[in-house]
Amino acid sequence: MIELASDKQKETFVLNMGPQHPATHGVLRVKLVMDGEYIVEAEPVLGYIHRMHEKMGENRNWAQFMPNTGRLDYLGALSYNHGYAAAVERAAGIEVPERAEYIRVLTVELNRISSHLLWMGAYLLDLGGFTPLLYAFDDREKILDMLERVTGSRLTYCYFRFGGLYNDVDEQFIGEVKAFVARMRSRLPMYHTLVTKNVILMERLKGIGIIDADMCRRYGVTGPVARGSGINFDVRKNEPYSVYPEFDFDVPVYSEGDSMARYMVRMDEIEQSLRIVEQAVNRLPEGPVMAEKVPKVLKPPKGDYYHAVEAARGSFGVRVVSDGTNTPYRLKLRSPTFSNLSLLAEVARGVTVADAVAFMGSLDLVIPEIDR
Amino acid sequence: MGGYFKEIFDGAHSLVAGMGVTLKYLFQPVVTEQYPHVAPTMPDRFRGHIELVANPETGGTLCIVCGMCQKACPSGCITVAGEKVEGVKGKVLTKYELDFTKCSLCGICVESCNPGAITFSKDYNLAGLRKEAFIYDLKKRLEERKR
């Protein structure tokens, strides 16, 4: 362990990382108290893009909040659509047709793959490797094109509706998805040759930013970060929702707890998502994509409802409180990266700036979701 | 000692293998969209800003000034106004204004429209020098398209 200066006032200086910094991927400011190259204290300063999403939910009707969910985590917007739609469906007691559920799972998993691909590209960019980003974006572009044809938008989707979907998928989409699964499977070994086995990457990630399972529990960490620390928790398995129980997939868990483990979890998750996508396409049932008799003006009965989904970054929970009117009384959004970021202060102590960047990137931070 | 050399050898090999991937893709066709030179085609469901649909018979609008889109819009970007004209059933549209600066392209307005009077445009080249450029008078745009 590195011995830090005893007189903090004299020997340390403050270094601001962000709010405008390429490695924070948004307007996150981290106040670093430095002792030379080493971090003495790291304090994330939040709120630069706080947009009051929770309060906004209270002054518009249930359906009107849907576009907001796509603006929380803009890389995995469909999971957030899903979380909100499912919470309100639970509140209003709406049954979703099976075909709609299958398409939801299918599109959410595609979105998860695109999110992980973007994370991989951007993370390696933080670490100084430019090329992998271009390969990752090539594959991600295929997903965005497919989803654009179906949902109408490329990033901030607003595709799910209470009781189903905005519109159905067509044969062309099914064909494109099948072609994509085959393509992605053939590309994954290339990623491993180019990136995973690269000696520079391994040297930079192994043993960096170690988080143990106990720390994850203390901070409420979920998603790939927790699974990289040996916690086998995935909302899709532990609290099954939608039609996930019908699919055969594994939850990748690594026990090392370092940045490399988190990297491996996400790479394996791409493979598992491909499995789900493949099964969903092959077993896609016929039928309507919208539940019948969904009232135009939704007024869920009085009560307090919660629904969590597994987003690309962890467990995203929506708590809705209804007072029986057409407007939510309270809308609480539990976003995974907020909890995941809380670790930073504890883990970054005593490491160099370069390693802190390698650690922070492995958390897969999306700032609009932290600030909401 | 053997482990040391093995590490160096494996490390060097991984770098060469990575270069091999790059070299392979160097000789493959370009995948990038050549955007300004080749214009992309927008898919049918592309959600651009909204546009009034022309009535196939009269060339006018299908809008009945019910105000549903105005009510449905989460951001309040739509302003609809109409007036009574003698000899015409219902109201006649006098103004349909879209404040695109606030629009989040959710498409709830199009879903709420019973007569199907609004649709999404395929316009993706959106740039302007001032805010006023994004306050669209959709009725005027419809008339301009007719000409």
Has residue A90 been placed in a domain?
Answer: yes
| Beta-carbon contacts of residue A122 (< 8 Å; ≥ 6 apart) | A25, A133, A361
User: Is the separation of the CB atoms in A307 and A86 below 8 Å?
Assistant: yes
Q: pLDDT value at position B64?
A: 84
Has residue A344 been placed in a domain?
Answer: yes
Has residue A331 been placed in a domain?
Answer: yes
A329 touches chain B (CB under 8 A): no
Secondary structure (DSSP) of A61-95: -TGGGHHHHTTTSTTSHHHHHHHHHHHHHHHHTPP
Q: pLDDT value at position B11?
A: 83
CATH of the domain at A164: 1.10.645.10
pTM of the model: 0.88
Write out residues 73-132 of B within 8 Å (CB-CB) of A: 73-74, 104-108, 111, 120
Q: pLDDT value at position A371?
A: 85
Residues in chain A within 8 Å Cβ distance of B22: 131, 194
Q: What percent of chain B has pLDDT over 90?
A: 0
Has residue A3 been placed in a domain?
Answer: no
User: Is the separation of the CB atoms in A261 and A254 below 8 Å?
Assistant: yes
Could you tell me the two tokens for A140?
């991600």
Q: How far apart are CA A358 and CA A210, in angstroms?
A: 11
Q: pLDDT value at position B86?
A: 79
Q: pLDDT value at position A318?
A: 92
Has residue A2 been placed in a domain?
Answer: no
Has residue A367 been placed in a domain?
Answer: yes
Mean pLDDT by 10 residues, chain A (372 residues): 56 82 77 87 87 88 88 88 90 88 91 92 86 89 89 86 85 90 90 86 85 89 90 88 88 89 91 91 87 82 90 90 89 89 87 86 87 83
A65 touches chain B (CB under 8 A): yes
Q: Which residue type, as a one-letter code, is found at position B133? A: A
Residues in chain A within 8 Å Cβ distance of B72: 63-64
Number of domains within chain A: 1
Has residue A286 been placed in a domain?
Answer: yes
| Beta-carbon contacts of residue A87 (< 8 Å; ≥ 6 apart) | A305, A306, A307, A318, A319, A320
Q: How far is CA A327 from CA A57, A85, A294, A297, B69, in A?
A: 8, 15, 16, 10, 18
| Beta-carbon contacts of residue A251 (< 8 Å; ≥ 6 apart) | A227, A232, A234, A236, A237, A272
Q: Is the dihedral of CA A275, A277, A280, A283 positive or negative?
A: negative
Could you tell me the two tokens for A107?
């599109």
Q: pLDDT value at position A257?
A: 87
- Range B40-49 average pLDDT: 84
